Structure 1
């Protein structure tokens, strides 16, 4: 497993990490710094950080306790308490002596403390693994309440305060392929909206047009202009969409039409090469797709509407549609099949890559509190590197047909 971790946390990343830590310790004029660290010691240090994620204790000093309740002998064999705190206190990822733009000046980067190592690790993630055809884009949150220049407050989320990270992952295995820390509006760049910029930044130029990737998005990101742009660079799009988005068909907003929809029924409309559906599940949900298989599935009575594009409305009867989704009754727990557009099943199967990566990361995540805001982002990247190495490991043994 260590060999697979070395693929995504390469020697260039750890050498940079060692260089900056030694440099920072010397700049602090360290009586508290016994000697420069090296690759053997730093690899042991990173290994102990993962051990901390598996075996949680209330405080870091507890790992050096002699109490039979808290004692972890293997930890003390690797590091003395003094040396551990020397390394932890002097962890650093950027040279403080390099002149940088100040806040308010052109070129200022709020993430300069972590950006160098972040870029190295992303390059490793993208170089060492070829993701599948289906990918999804979503957000992740790194917990943190301190003096964080990129801290976000999201009261409706499980993690209400912290750093927001946009991520693109492989739908089949939850491999995190590309990420971007949200640091506010990008100065000097004219945006077509935050969601548009995030998706294009994550996809271009990393996804090749020759692989016919399909990008799955939720309704925060999806819009018709974005889908059209992705199509222009050889990418397809499937996602939920809000009815107030630009160019959303007026014919699907009709209140009488929506009021008369029964559970399992849906209506469709074509906007250029894009198919849009309004489906009644427990509530009305809208979908958009430009994947070829969905075009072949639908048969339209085509008309021209007042907005100038070709559109149609088709009320699909359940008996004529072979795409269904499973729903569970609250009363007795029995499962029922509900008719749906074919893109719904496809969306449900491929949208959850980021959530699955979170599920694998959280049980053994390192996530230690620190007054240094960037430490938690660094520990988050270590966790992602471990999850990605586990994905490569499992995919490798599936290929070899090993247990």
Structure 2
């Protein structure tokens, strides 16, 4: 069995560990037991994950004498909404969850964000454990304490910062993902190389095609991504500065998700991948980086079989001005100005609100070409 990787997120009283490796769900009882004041937890998951992993988790808890109850919600982005948040909170209250208890979020980013937000507002804050079951959630949404739900006005506009008590990233469960879901998660992995680690991007160019089949490489990629995010979160927990770099590709990506109705037409990680390609294209057209950089980004996404242009999204999209208007609803807008994460090269990202509208329009127009 591969040794588990431990990444510590040192946030004072809110510090916690991220454990990364295979078989962590089977050992979850032993990991969670030290956190408990009484031997019971409440688990929130979705229908897809429940069928695959819930019984194994409950068995692991039972072995340690931990009783559990579970709420199973519908799968999909639509679950990150007021109705399901209300359902989750009311169920937790029905289960008499106390402030010293633990709520377990078992699932991908949707469940993690929703359950984390429910934990943040329930009794003004209860502890929760993240057990992310998708690549995207393991490298991104489960770490850092961002929780929330979507609104008709945009993605993640309602939420709170609420750090987990523990994250268990079982890389073995990624074997159950479809190829598309695995690659969508990879959109967040490659982002780390693009925003701040050119050496990691070089490593991904050589090794990423084997992540699906090689558990050791997979664990290495997840662990490196988590270390990068943990470092950034530690330095800027509430996104006052450096943490905004983690939004590389997201201003474009969130607008595209809204334009496709948060549907299966475009998964979050796919939107991020296209957004990263657009951000590098925008940077090159503004003279910030060489044309080689965006070409390299697109070539790598193509190598991985991922979408890289607007034409890779099935169905019709709104016109360019409508997409720009959707970007205006992004939570990163400051004083009415769009904020983009741009780049001076691979691994050299920075935040800017000084993007000429005509250049942005040209980037979107050209991205519609094959």
Higher RCO, Cα 8 Å, sep 6+: 1
TM-score computed with the length of structure 2 as normaliser: 0.24
So what's the TM-score if we normalise by structure 1?
A: 0.23
Greater helix content:
2
